[in-house]
């Protein structure tokens, strides 16, 4: 199956096929699939495939997947890949992913990457990611900012307690009313 998937001419189809069979591949085959993912030119398909493979790679291969994610030229696709592999990164590599997310130039892509990493960060890293998100918050639409803040609710509750959560709840309600 791997051989057939790797020979598909259409990159999106190849990426989808390789992602679909990832759970059934051996360690060596996962390495081949990872190499195939890195060779995919469509950056969004590459980001999606790296995210799908992350659950099946070894420790050394997850480092390779992170390096490939950081090398994606499209900042939107890079944010997608960093968020997609975050759940499978060990501590030192999640710190590397956070640094890569903070380095994304496009504010919307950076905000999505920070939010996507939030659930996998240690407390001090979440504080750092939240601060970075709030720095650019005024440049995001209100609904977008509120959606991206959701992974940080625990921190918001610790910082501001029930009043902060009530204010967030009201802001979400207001945004939903104004921006359906």
26 pLDDT band, cuts 50/70/90, is confident
Structure tokens at 103: 């380095």
Domain ranges of the chain: 1-77, 89-180
pLDDT score of 139 more than 90: no
User: How far is residue 38 from each of residues 53, 67, 103, 121, measured CA to CA in Å?
Assistant: 11, 10, 21, 26
Tens digits of per-residue pLDDT, 68-112? 999 999 999 999 999 999 999 998 999 999 999 999 999 999 999
Q: What DSSP element (H or E) covers 62?
A: helix 59-70
**Burial level of 98, CB count in 10 A (0-12/13-18/19+)?**
buried
Which residues in 142-161 are b (16+ Cβ under 10 Å) and which e? ebbbbbbbebbeebbeeeee
Distance CA 147, CA 127 (A): 17
Q: Of the candidates 43, 47, 49, 44, which has an alpha carbon nearest to the alpha carbon of residue 6?
A: 49
pLDDT, mean of residues 131-155: 86
CA quadruple 54, 59, 61, 66: dihedral positive or negative? positive
* 73 DSSP assignment: S
pLDDT score of 163 more than 90: no
Orientation of helix 59-70 relative to helix 27-39, angle to 10°: 10
In which region does residue 25 sit, left (phi positive, over 0), alpha (psi from -120 to 50) or beta (all else)? beta
pLDDT score of 180 more than 60: no
């Amino acid at each position: 199956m791997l051989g057939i998937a790797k020979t598909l001419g259409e990159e999106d189809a190849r990426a989808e096929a390789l992602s679909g069979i990832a759970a059934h591949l051996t360690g060596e085959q996962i390495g081949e699939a990872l190499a195939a993912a890195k060779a995919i030119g469509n950056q969004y398909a590459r980001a999606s495939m790296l995210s799908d493979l992350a659950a099946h790679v070894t420790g050394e291969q997850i480092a390779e997947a992170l390096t490939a994610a950081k090398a994606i030229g499209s900042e939107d696709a890079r944010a997608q890949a960093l968020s997609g592999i975050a759940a499978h990164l060990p501590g030192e590599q999640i710190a590397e992913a956070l640094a890569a997310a903070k380095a994304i130039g496009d504010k919307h892509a950076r905000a999505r990457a920070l939010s996507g990493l939030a659930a996998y960060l240690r407390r001090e890293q979440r504080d750092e990611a939240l601060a970075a998100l709030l720095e650019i918050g005024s440049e995001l639409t209100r609904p977008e900012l509120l959606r991206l803040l959701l992974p940080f609710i625990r921190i918001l509750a610790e910082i501001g307690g029930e009043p902060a959560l009530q204010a967030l709840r009201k802001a979400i309600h207001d945004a939903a009313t104004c921006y359906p």
